[in-house]
Amino acid sequence: MTNIDELEHVKCLIIGSGPAGYTAAIYAARADLKPVVYTGIVPGGQLTQTTEVDNFPGYPQGVTGPVLMEDLKAQAERFGTEVRFGYATKVAFSQDKGTHKVQIDGSKWILAETVIIATGATAKWLGLPSEEKYNGFGVSACAVCDGFFFKGQDVAIVGAGDTAAEEATYLAKLCRKVYMLVRRDEFRASKAMVHRVMNTANIEVLYNTETQEIVGNEQGVNGVRVINNRTKEEKVLDVTGFFVAIGHKPNTELFQGILEMDETGYLITKADSTATNIPGIFACGDVQDHVYRQAITAAGTGCMAALEAERYLAAKESGE
Ligand code: NDP
């Protein structure tokens, strides 16, 4: 490591650039904490991979995910936030209200008085070898990113939550036919989303259906073998695209053994707070929320994290 005196030293380092990270940045910048945001590999986070967002307050006509994120970024920058493309690769947190260290892109270390973790969550996969084999060759976890490649073709999507329902209706606009593979006999998605699926003529919902294998050749996917878990009937659906929409896992590998987390990896914050078990380290957004997982709740906790960081610094400076 470089001599500690030569390292950049910031008051507030924000890791992640979704609604939580940028909202934290807006508040931290306005409190004169001169925040630095490291975007991670997906600047703007999960919302950049979605289409219409109709439930973010302040947009009566709706807004697209990428535009919403550009707006949040511009608002954070307007107050002096420095947004940098980079990925946190290691952390060395001080246990006793000291200065924390975060390594960026495997090389550069930064000193930070407070760190706001807003690293979000990432799509889950089924875990089938064939899913991995054909990832990028017909298998995708993002209909909005990759649906275009399957224009006029038949595809399948696995999952029964709001994401799967939203992506199925998105794909239905591009594709000839969409099979929706639901493992139980009912959806998890909200009634409004289920209604939308049911009213889309080219979506066929297959209940009690599990994916056994994705089949294909050197050209990519050409089918998916499914089984009805009640009747045990097996069949192959002729599809060229296979989309996975079965939820997300929090991006917390970096903090394993360092910060308290639950059994599924979500960071644990103190009640009614974004404080983690280490003083000066705060967590907001999907990385600590497996209940609501909405852009607006992520933004709300981002605001809390910045206010708490500001109060923590004020108390530290006054010797409390
Ligand atoms: P969810 O956790 O809500 O749903 C995951 C779905 O995948 C469930 O139906 C689950 O089945 C299914 N599933 C999980 N594992 C497997 C597996 N191995 N094989 C087959 N199916 C599987 O995740 P979502 O990403 O859909 O949604 C996350 C959150 O984001 C939710 O709170 C949702 O409301 C919200 N959201 C809101 C949107 C909006 O308002 N526009 C859009 C998208 C998401 P089972 O039901 O059997 O457990």
Share of the chain above pLDDT 90, in %: 85
The pLDDT of 26-46, averaged and rounded, is: 95
Residues 130 and 231 in one domain: yes
Q: Transcribe 209-237 into DSSP letters.
A: EEEEEEEEETTEEEEEEEEETTT--EEEE
Residues 210 and 168 in one domain: yes
Atom of ligand 1 nearest to the CA of 291: 32
Residues 117 and 257 in one domain: yes
Tell me how far apart the alpha carbons of residues 15 and 73 are, in angstroms, rounded to a whole number: 14
pLDDT at 48 over 90: no
Atom of ligand 1 nearest to the CA of 166: 42
User: Cα 130 to the chain's mean position, in Å?
Assistant: 24
CA of 58 from ligand 1 middle (Å) equals 26
Task: Give how far Cα 283 sits from Cα of 7, 101, 233, 256, 276, Å.
Answer: 24, 16, 46, 14, 7
Name the residue with tokens 């983690």: 276
First to last CA, the chain: 31
The pLDDT of 1-16, averaged and rounded, is: 87
Residues 159 and 233 in one domain: yes
Residues 111 and 255 in one domain: yes
Residues 99 and 167 in one domain: no
Q: Which tens digit of pLDDT belongs to each residue from 237-289?
A: 999 999 999 988 999 999 999 999 999 899 999 999 999 999 999 999 999 99
Residues 129 and 240 in one domain: yes
Residues 209 and 260 in one domain: no
Q: Transcribe 64-87 into DSSP letters.
A: EHHHHHHHHHHHHHHTTPEEE---
End-of-domain residue from the set 203, 226, 244 = 244
End-of-domain residue from the set 193, 221, 244 = 244
Residues 109 and 137 in one domain: no
Q: Which tens digit of pLDDT belongs to each residue from 89-144?
A: 999 999 988 999 999 999 999 999 999 999 999 889 999 999 999 988 999 988 88
Domain span including residue 212:
125-244
User: Does the beta carbon of 95 sit less than 6 angstroms from any atom of ligand 1?
Assistant: no
Q: Find residue 8's DSSP bridge partners.
A: 110
Tell me how far apart the alpha carbons of residues 202 and 139 are, in angstroms, rounded to a whole number: 20
Residue 315 identity (one-letter amino acid)? A
CA of 126 from ligand 1 middle (Å) equals 13
User: Does the beta carbon of 164 sit less than 6 angstroms from any atom of ligand 1?
Assistant: yes
Give the confidence band of 292 by pLDDT, cuts at 50, 70, 90.
confident
The model's pTM: 0.77
Classify the phi-psi angles of 257: left when phi > 0, otherwise alpha if psi is within -120 to 50, otherwise beta: left
CA of 84 from ligand 1 middle (Å) equals 31
CATH for 188: 3.50.50.60
Give the confidence band of 25 by pLDDT, cuts at 50, 70, 90.
very high
User: Cα 28 to the chain's mean position, in Å?
Assistant: 22
Task: Give how far Cα 86 sits from Cα of 13, 42, 218, Å.
Answer: 12, 10, 35
Query: Among 46-60, 73-87, 110-124, 260-274, which is the least confidently predicted range?
Result: 46-60
Contact 98, 114 (CB under 8 A): no
Residues 37 and 117 in one domain: yes
- What sign does the CA torsion over 202, 208, 211, 216 have? negative
User: Does the beta carbon of 78 sit less than 6 angstroms from any atom of ligand 1?
Assistant: no
Name the residue with tokens 């000291």: 98
End-of-domain residue from the set 210, 244, 278 = 244
Residues 144 and 94 in one domain: no
Domains contained in the chain, number:
2
- What sign does the CA torsion over 75, 76, 77, 83 have? negative
Residues 135 and 233 in one domain: yes
